[in-house]
Amino acid sequence: MLRDLLRAAAEARTVAIEGRVREVVAAYLESYQSNDIDGRVALFAADGTFEDPVGSEPMRGHEAIRAFWEAGAAAFRIEMALDRLYVSGREAAFNATATLHDKAGDKARIRIIETMCLNDDGWIASLRAYFDVGSID
């Protein structure tokens, strides 16, 4: 069967770090449920970058990334739900839905694609968030 051939080829490319990629994605998403900003920041390499949205100036390093999320947390509670995840070597791309709840009880939903790349030590070297006007409702 064609699909068995394609799956075998994909299996043959699977490398050890993919398990770590899946762990980091899971921990990243879980950090939103538990509102654990420190835990989320700790997933990044010391010089890791976060670009949100893609095309803006990336934040670099724990201090800059923490400041961004702390400012967000002062305004919103964020729920993140994973839709689809594709892991390819040390990189991943995933669909997620972020639901933002503000202090007044209002909410908005942003559907995004994020791409993540780990460094050799298994920490996030780069996280990039793609979304646009059409993904907000």
Side-chain half-sphere of 132: how many Cα atoms within 13 Å?
Answer: 2
Tell me the window of 7-15, 38-46, 65-73, 119-127 that interacts with a copy of itself (CB under 8 A): 7-15
Minimum CB distance to a copy of itself smaller for 14 or for 33: 14
From its phi and psi, is residue 57 left (phi > 0), alpha (psi between -120 and 50) or beta?
beta
Positive or negative, the Cα torsion across 68, 73, 78, 80? Answer: positive
Q: Interface with a copy of itself includes 54 (CB under 8 A)?
A: yes
State the nearest-atom distance from the C-beta of 10 to a copy of itself, in Å.
4
Among 20, 62, 115, 126, binds a copy of itself (CB under 8 A): 115
Tell me the window of 33-41, 42-50, 63-71, 87-95 that interacts with a copy of itself (CB under 8 A): 87-95
Residues 91-110, mask of contacts with a copy of itself (x by CB under 8 A): xxxxx----x-x---xxxxx
Side-chain half-sphere of 68: how many Cα atoms within 13 Å?
Answer: 16
Secondary structure (3-state) at 23 = helix
| Structural contact between residues 92 and 21, judged by C-beta atoms closer than 8 angstroms | yes
Cis status, amide bond into 53, omega within 30 of 0: yes
- In the residue annotation, 28 being an active-site residue is answered as yes
List residues near a copy of itself by CB under 8 A.
1-3, 6-7, 10-11, 13-15, 18, 53-56, 84, 86-95, 100, 102, 106-113, 115, 130-137
